[in-house]
């Protein structure tokens, strides 16, 4: 650009801007290592830098940007375009102590270079927090699944993000051991081709931060050897905030095998679940490495995912088959373990909910072609059949004032929907009416919400290992919003799963993971 006359100063500024833009465009179009290019995504005040040391096979990335969160991102991105199922793996470290504990170094898959793009990443934060972050729709609020480490020295050192269809998984390694599934997973749809690569965000628009990525591996999963054996089922016990402004999930425990149906203790410190017929407990506040321990409850070792804590927090109702009482019966045991006392004398009884005063238990019993809801005194006694429909009435849960029982039923014809009735079974009314199959409604302790899970319309019954959505209804206006999409179904939240604060939920999601 040539500059003349009184516009010299303005023109010079324009020349400088044009030259800078041209220089940055040239720099960002230069390949670095395995990546086609690098560029700043979103608005940054300090242009980012990506360099590659071929001798040591390391990428050093310096990036600025206010954040990678909410509805848009700002960061330095080294990228290549790819299609299909893929994994990106790297060791990540911050070479210097940073000023912001939430600076991020990420392995990322992204639909576009727009700031509000659909994406998923594995993010190491400066404080040690490790998370699978994702934005499932353009401009949507970012969600994440966290391993809540509070020290960088406790965090993993090697990371992998894997895409299998719409399922995105995070793998980690702490001390050089083989990578293992972390329990963090999300459903994000990426159309090919899309962008994959490495990124750094300073989490402070006025600063730049640096991270080093080494031993970087990119694999097109379709090109790798076939799975050597059947996939391994992993269960992940997860808690989630219901806040629309901070939809944060945290991994409590993830293991090979099958967890089912978490309940929260009344003090909020523990979670109870079923694993291989045993009733287990695990501390609620862990960083993904919580190890469930079996309650000592005598011969109750053939239990199922129908259990829950009493309103006073002193007992746990369980549903088990015993050596002297075959078929599922409802029992109560002390909350810390002890001898089970039988409540239902008849088999095929599955606990679902305590009444708020602790005097009554609602349970279900199948019958040919469906099932019904029953109640019984918590100390045992006569059973009362509350529903008498030909189809399915299932998953009863009392409202916190004890006036209503929420449940799911196909009595309306067509899909499974959420209903409620008075505690004596009268006055049934349909609560949802949509194109989903809705199951397992649970009212919050404060009476403001119900959560339930939804299958697509073509899924019949209450199967496991399906793509489902956990949905939240406001009882004040009956508006529904999606809370999280997971791979689950039966076992995800069969029984009451609210935290005492009415702001968090516990659930189990599942993934099928290649044992190799």
Confidence of residue 473 (pLDDT cuts 50, 70, 90): very high
Mean pLDDT of 151-162: 95
Residues contacting 492, CB < 8 A, separation 6+: 261, 440, 453, 468, 470, 486, 507, 508, 509
Query: CA-CA distance, 468 to 239, in Å (whole number)?
Result: 16
Q: Per-residue pLDDT for 24 more than 60?
A: no
Query: CA-CA distance, 43 to 64, in Å (whole number)?
Result: 9
Mean pLDDT of 361-389: 96
Do residues 195 and 112 touch, judged by C-beta distance below 8 A?
A: yes
Ranges 7-16, 364-373, 471-480: which has the least confidence? 7-16
Q: Per-residue pLDDT for 330 more than 80?
A: yes
The pair of structure tokens assigned to 154 is: 């406790």
Confidence of residue 19 (pLDDT cuts 50, 70, 90): very low
pLDDT score of 27: 40
Distance of CA 309 to the CA centre of its chain: 23
pLDDT score of 224: 61
Q: Per-residue pLDDT for 471 more than 90?
A: yes
Q: How far is CA 284 from CA 119, 266, 270, 292, in A?
A: 29, 12, 5, 10
Q: What is the pLDDT of residues 426-449, one digit of tens each?
A: 999 999 999 999 999 999 999 999
**Percentage of the residues of the chain whose pLDDT score is greater than 90:** 87
pLDDT score of 315: 98
DSSP 8-state class, residue 227: P
- Residue indicated by tokens 């078929």: 327
Query: CA-CA distance, 30 to 15, in Å (whole number)?
Result: 23
Which CATH class for the 32-223 domain? mainly beta
Query: CA-CA distance, 125 to 105, in Å (whole number)?
Result: 7
Q: Per-residue pLDDT for 21 more than 80?
A: no
Confidence of residue 12 (pLDDT cuts 50, 70, 90): very low
Ranges 188-202, 216-230, 281-295: which has the least confidence? 216-230
pLDDT score of 17: 37
Do residues 106 and 216 touch, judged by C-beta distance below 8 A?
A: no
Do residues 270 and 239 touch, judged by C-beta distance below 8 A?
A: no
pLDDT score of 13: 38
Question: What string of H, E and C letters represents the secondary structure of 158-216?
Answer: EEEEEEECCEEEEEEECCCCCCEEEEEEEECCCCCCEEEEEEEECCCCCCCEEEEEEEE
Q: Where is 27: in which H helix or E strand?
A: helix 8-28
Query: CA-CA distance, 108 to 110, in Å (whole number)?
Result: 6
Mean pLDDT of 388-411: 96
DSSP 8-state class, residue 230: P
Q: Per-residue pLDDT for 151 more than 80?
A: yes
Confidence of residue 98 (pLDDT cuts 50, 70, 90): confident
pLDDT score of 369: 87
Mean pLDDT of 11-34: 50
Query: CA-CA distance, 426 to 419, in Å (whole number)?
Result: 12
Q: What is the pLDDT of residues 78-96, one digit of tens each?
A: 999 999 999 999 999 999 9
Query: CA-CA distance, 164 to 87, in Å (whole number)?
Result: 9
Mean pLDDT of 362-384: 96
Mean pLDDT of 248-276: 96
Query: CA-CA distance, 511 to 185, in Å (whole number)?
Result: 8
Mean pLDDT of 259-277: 96
Mean pLDDT of 495-500: 98
Q: Per-residue pLDDT for 279 more than 80?
A: yes
Name the phi and psi angles at 356, rounded to 5: -60, -30
Do residues 236 and 167 touch, judged by C-beta distance below 8 A?
A: no
Query: CA-CA distance, 66 to 73, in Å (whole number)?
Result: 8
Which CATH class for the 232-513 domain? mainly beta
Q: Per-residue pLDDT for 52 more than 50?
A: yes
Query: CA-CA distance, 474 to 444, in Å (whole number)?
Result: 10
H-helix segments, 245-323: none
Query: CA-CA distance, 95 to 139, in Å (whole number)?
Result: 33
Mean pLDDT of 289-301: 92
pLDDT score of 326: 94
Query: CA-CA distance, 187 to 485, in Å (whole number)?
Result: 6
- Most confidently predicted of 24-28, 151-155, 447-451: 447-451
Q: Per-residue pLDDT for 5 more than 80?
A: no
Confidence of residue 226 (pLDDT cuts 50, 70, 90): low
Confidence of residue 514 (pLDDT cuts 50, 70, 90): confident
The structural domains of the chain, with segments of one domain joined by +, span 32-223, 232-513
Dmax (CA) for the chain in angstroms is 102
Name the phi and psi angles at 390, rounded to 5: -75, -30
CA-closest candidate to residue 279, choices 256, 257, 310, 302: 302
pLDDT score of 18: 38
Long-range contact pairs involving 176-180 (C-beta distance under 8 Å, separation at least 24): 179/89
Q: How far is CA 100 from CA 126, 214, 349, in A?
A: 7, 23, 54
List residues bridging with 308 in a β-sheet. Answer: 317
Query: CA-CA distance, 51 to 150, in Å (whole number)?
Result: 30
**In the predicted model, what is the mean pLDDT of the chain?**
92
pLDDT score of 227: 54
Q: Per-residue pLDDT for 177 more than 80?
A: yes
Degrees (nearest 5) of the Cα angle 374, 380, 382? 55
Q: In what order do the strands lie in the sheet with 384-385?
A: 350-354, 360-367, 370-377, 384-385
């Amino acid at each position: 650009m040539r500059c003349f006359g009184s516009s010299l100063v303005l023109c010079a500024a324009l020349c400088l801007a044009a030259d800078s833009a041209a220089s940055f465009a040239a720099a960002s179009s230069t390949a670095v290592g395995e990546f086609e290019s690098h560029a700043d995504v979103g608005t940054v005040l300090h242009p980012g830098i990506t360099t590659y040391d071929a001798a040591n096979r390391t990428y050093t990335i310096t990036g600025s940007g206010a954040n990678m969160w909410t509805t848009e991102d700002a960061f330095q991105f080294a990228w290549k375009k790819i299609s299909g199922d893929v994994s990106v793996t790297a060791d990540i470290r911050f070479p210097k102590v940073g000023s912001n504990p939430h600076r991020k170094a990420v392995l990322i898959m992204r639909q576009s270079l727009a700031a509000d793009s659909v994406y998923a990443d594995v993010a190491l934060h400066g404080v040690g927090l490790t998370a699978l972050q994702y934005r499932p729709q353009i401009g949507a609020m970012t969600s994440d699944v966290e391993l809540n480490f509070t020290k960088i020295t406790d965090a993993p050192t090697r990371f992998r993000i894997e895409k299998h269809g719409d399922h995105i998984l995070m793998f980690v390694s702490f001390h050089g051991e083989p990578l293992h599934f972390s329990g963090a997973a999300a459903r994000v749809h990426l159309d090919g081709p899309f962008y994959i690569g490495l990124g750094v965000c300073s989490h402070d628009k006025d600063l730049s931060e640096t991270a080093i990525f080494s031993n970087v591996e990119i694999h097109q999963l379709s090109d790798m050897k076939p799975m050597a054996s059947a996939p391994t089922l992993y269960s992940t016990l997860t808690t989630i905030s219901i806040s629309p402004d901070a939809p944060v999930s945290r991994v409590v425990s993830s293991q090979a095998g099958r967890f089912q149906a978490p309940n929260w203790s009344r003090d909020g410190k523990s979670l109870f679940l079923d694993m291989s017929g045993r009733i287990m407990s695990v501390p609620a506040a862990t960083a993904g490495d919580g190890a469930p321990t079996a309650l000592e409850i005598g011969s109750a070792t053939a239990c199922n995912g129908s259990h829950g804590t009493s309103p006073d927090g002193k007992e746990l109702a369980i549903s088990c088959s015993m050596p002297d009482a075959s078929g599922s019966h409802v029992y109560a045991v002390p909350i810390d373990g002890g001898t089970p006392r039988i409540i239902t004398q008849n088999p095929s009884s599955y606990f679902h909910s305590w009444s708020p005063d602790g005097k009554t238990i609602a349970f279900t019993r199948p019958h040919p072609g469906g099932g019904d809801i029953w109640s019984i005194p918590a100390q045992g006694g006569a059973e009362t059949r509350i529903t008498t429909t030909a189809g399915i009435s299932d998953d009863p849960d009392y409202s916190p004032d004890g006036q209503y029982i929420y449940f799911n039923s196909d009595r309306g014809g067509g899909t499974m929907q959420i209903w409620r009735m008075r505690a004596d079974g009268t006055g049934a009314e349909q609560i949802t009416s949509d194109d989903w199959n809705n199951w397992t409604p649970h009212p919050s302790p404060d009476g403001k919400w119900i959560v339930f899970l939804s299958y697509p319309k073509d899924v019949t019954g209450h199967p496991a290992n399906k793509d489902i959505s956990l949905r939240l209804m406001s009882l004040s206006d009956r508006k529904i919003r999606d809370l999280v999409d997971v791979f689950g179904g039966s076992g995800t939240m069969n029984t009451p799963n609210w935290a005492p604060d009415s702001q968090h939920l516990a659930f189990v999601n599942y993934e099928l993971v290649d044992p190799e």
